Structure 1
Amino acid sequence: MELKTYQARSMSDALARVKRELGKGAMILHTRTIRRGGILGIGARTFVEITATADPKVIAARSGAGRPDELRAGVPAGSSAPVQGRVAAAYGIEKPAPAAGGPGIPQSAASTGAPHDIREDLLAIRGMVRDLLLQNDPARPADVPEELIEHYTRMISHEVARGLVMEIIDRVRPRLGESEAPMDGEDRETRSQGVSAENVREELLRYIGESLPPAAPLQLVNENRPTIVALVGPTGVGKTTTLAKLAAHMKLREGRSVGLITIDSYRIAAVEQLKTYAQIMQIPLIPVTSPAEMGDAIRRLSSVDLILIDTAGRSQKDDPRIAELRTYLAAAVPDQVHLVLSTTASEAAIRQAIEKFSVLGARQLIFTKLDEAVGFGVILNVLRSFDLRLSYLTTGQAVPDDIEVGSARRVAELILSPGVTPAGPPAETPGSHASLPNRAAAAQGV
């Protein structure tokens, strides 16, 4: 008996190797997913493993016996054809047919020679791949509706809390008619086929959006004095770059007068970076080294529309430094305090940062580095756990681009996305004054 095992990162790659090495007559005997590499399971990668053969004796024995251990994931209701035959056919691997009317092929198909429907082949492939992805998820409830399994998997892959995932599934299910019992003679699969994939996704987007507070981007709230906005957060989250993006946007696209204050005297590079931005945009920048100097700096910038304050990064575990930062902000009396957090941090670290920085009066969140994140579920988890509102999302280093208003709809799109590389913010037409803050009106809804 000649059996060969192939491993690849995806089912299509593994099947291509089977076809290339064993030919079109190969038979798939077994599939499974495995994890390799990493240390103690951390960093391990998932591979698809296929056991196949081109041995005529094995093929004849398997085809004639209809063994129960043949792979049958994704077989449409009422069909007795083994799924590996359809999968093999879809990838150009021909499975030898048993005798007419024999086990594994309906007699009508054997006698007429009618080819399998392509749609059935695709459904079989999709079902097998889905099952391979989910078979190592023992926590998945058995009653997740068929049309929601793909979205369930995506949300789990983005590390949305399982409780939230099931809440979303349970709330959207009635909107799809899933709560009603099937009529006589109507099975669950038949009912689910009546709901389009577009409708399913739209219902999920709508519910997730409705469950989140509206976005709260920067707003100019004062007419006779500057609006003062401070950005705070842990070290290395991108506060200075984000502040430069907001300043450039308000100055260059909104035509507003802007002034900058930095109290990040601990990092010379950060001050020099902000100074460079300020010189390019012709914006005044005032370094402040003590709370006593903050009031004077505010007075010197009293003629501008907006004052943006860049603060030094503070570890959420450094209570004395956070308390020191609080004295600076008490002297500035900001109208808004935005807590800047990186989506690359662990959820535990993000939650701790929110709790520790709450003493600074932060009521809005900015999530940065979406282009480096391994998942976006933390955004939803946090917004549903704390009384805070999302203001912005950033995806890169470009100033004033790579930033967008963090609408509830956008968060929903991120956690339902098949991958973890977000599309950048909407492109602006050169010379256009359509702005981030002015897009807030659209972001107030979902």
Structure 2
Amino acid sequence: MKVKKYIASSMPEAMKQIRAELGNEAVILNSRVVHTGGVFGFFKKRSIEVMAAVDPKLEIEKKPLTKPASPQKRTPAFHSPKKAEEPIREVTLQSDIKPSAELIKEISDLKRMMTNLANTQQSGPSYPEAIKKFQALLNEQELDKNLQDQVLSVLLEKWYLSGGGAVDTELLACLETELEKEIDGIPFGGISFNKKYINVAGPTGVGKTTTLAKMAAECVIKHKKKVAFITTDTYRIAAIDQLKIYAKILYVPLEVCYTIEDFKQAAEKLKDNDLILIDTAGRNFRNKQYVEDLQNVIDFEKDMETFLVLSLTAKQRDMEDIYSQFSIIDIDKLIFTKADETSTYGAMYNIIHKYRKGAAYITNGQDVPDDILAAEPDVIVKQLLGTIK
């Protein structure tokens, strides 16, 4: 029996190597997680070690062989003449050894697994039933396919190493951990209170004004900050009136600005406040001129923290276009609104992961000051998986 050890990044990768080298008849003898490399014991790479074997063929045939010709030598006269060489006959070795029923089953299971792996490029990976339910969930949530493959391969490895005994709660916890790891290191959280000016930008209809009021209420009620409003949304009278109502409820001043000069005057007038929250006009995000107009009204050289507001009811492609258009200004974090109006949150995770831009808040209703969550990696993942409380 030929036995060989393989080290790969995941079980599916190891299975591909085994199939390529040992063929479809190979069987897995053992598997375990190992850590290799690293410096002084740190930064070791997590891999999986698999011992695989393949049985020799039960029938071995040898082709007729011919002895190589010997160099001619002078034969002494007293030697008898050399006998004619007899050809070596073809030899066939027939084995009476029969594989056990257990070995036949293992080989059959492995062949089926290898066939599934062979079809991966055409129809995607085929997972055990325990993993398929999580694959269906991530598909339904429209999580990026490459991210799906990455996190599901970790689940598959855990399932293999548990001998197929990992329960749903264990696999779900593993999935949450892997998804959080993917966005680890990206700055999350609400207002930092390191900047005096808080700018809320975004396209029309995403709920910027209501979100701004929720943020202001949190600053006033929870953090005891002295807050003021500036609005540059002079295109909609209703928006100014709405913000005036919130300003009156929270007992905070409000200034309306039409030009950059107005903005500078308002900033000077409100300089004694701890925070100045700025509401901007919402217009067609496909019009690049609109974003450029922001720079003609707001002084971005100020001590400013900018949040881009995206609606979770929008398509991911539209979110990406919005981000691209607004990237001419310095975006610190994202705010995702209307979480209560959709059941699909994959685009939110995809955008954060793709642009490495963290989220500040998620809003899930119209109530002020309620219906707003401070965003952290675990909150994003739980919203995605439907486990948020």
Give the TM-score of the pair, scaled to structure 1.
Answer: 0.57
Aligned-residue offset at 1:314: 2.7
Instruction: Give the % identical residues.
Output: 30
- Judged with a 3 Å threshold, the aligned counterparts in structure 2 of structure 1 residues 198 and 297 are, in CA distance, closer, same or farther, namely same
For the pair 1:291 / 2:260, whether they are aligned, the reply is: yes
Maintained 8 Å contact 2:258/2:297: no
Query: For residue 210 of structure 1, what is the aligned residue in structure 2?
Result: 181
Aligned-residue offset at 1:216: 3.3
Aligned-residue offset at 1:255: 1.2
For the pair 1:406 / 2:375, whether they are aligned, the reply is: yes
- Judged with a 3 Å threshold, the aligned counterparts in structure 2 of structure 1 residues 277 and 339 are, in CA distance, closer, same or farther, namely same
Counterpart selection for 1:170 from 142, 153, 172: 153
Query: For residue 387 of structure 1, what is the aligned residue in structure 2?
Result: 356
- Judged with a 3 Å threshold, the aligned counterparts in structure 2 of structure 1 residues 139 and 267 are, in CA distance, closer, same or farther, namely farther
Counterpart selection for 1:150 from 121, 130, 133: 133
Aligned-residue offset at 1:407: 1.1
Letter in 2 for 1:206: T
Q: How many residues were matched structurally?
A: 267
Aligned-residue offset at 1:412: 1.1
Cα distance in 1 for residues equivalent to 2:332 and 2:300: 18
Aligned-residue offset at 1:316: 1.9
- Judged with a 3 Å threshold, the aligned counterparts in structure 2 of structure 1 residues 139 and 340 are, in CA distance, closer, same or farther, namely farther
Tell me, what secondary structure is at the counterpart of 2:163?
helix
Query: For residue 302 of structure 1, what is the aligned residue in structure 2?
Result: 271
Letter in 1 for 2:174: E
Counterpart selection for 1:275 from 229, 244, 254: 244
**Higher Rg of the two aligned structures:** 2
Aligned-residue offset at 1:144: 2.1
For the pair 1:371 / 2:354, whether they are aligned, the reply is: no
- Judged with a 3 Å threshold, the aligned counterparts in structure 2 of structure 1 residues 383 and 331 are, in CA distance, closer, same or farther, namely closer
Q: Which has the higher strand share?
A: 2
Cα distance in 2 for residues equivalent to 1:209 and 1:333: 34
Note the alpha carbon deviations across 1:185-223, whole angstroms, 9 max, x for none.
xxxxx932x21211111111111111112413211115x
Letter in 2 for 1:207: E
Maintained 8 Å contact 2:131/2:155: no
Note the alpha carbon deviations across 1:254-303, whole angstroms, 9 max, x for none.
21110110000100001000000100110011111111111111111111
Note the alpha carbon deviations across 1:368-415, whole angstroms, 9 max, x for none.
000112410001111111131111100000111100111111111122
Query: For residue 172 of structure 2, what is the aligned residue in structure 1?
Result: 201
What are the residue-to-residue correspondences of 1:40-55 with 2, within 5 Å?
none
What are the residue-to-residue correspondences of 1:87-236 with 2, within 5 Å?
141-174=124-157, 176-178=158-160, 180=161, 191-192=163-164, 194-212=165-183, 213-221=186-194, 227-236=196-205
Aligned-residue offset at 1:237: 0.1
Letter in 1 for 2:156: R
Which aligned runs of 4 or more in structure 1 are off by greater than 6 angstroms? none
Structure 2: 5+ residue stretches without partners: 1-120
For the pair 1:260 / 2:229, whether they are aligned, the reply is: yes
Structure 1: 5+ residue stretches without partners: 1-137, 181-189, 424-446
Let me know the Cα RMSD of the aligned residues. 2.0
Give the TM-score of the pair, scaled to structure 2.
Answer: 0.65
Tell me, what secondary structure is at the counterpart of 1:348?
helix
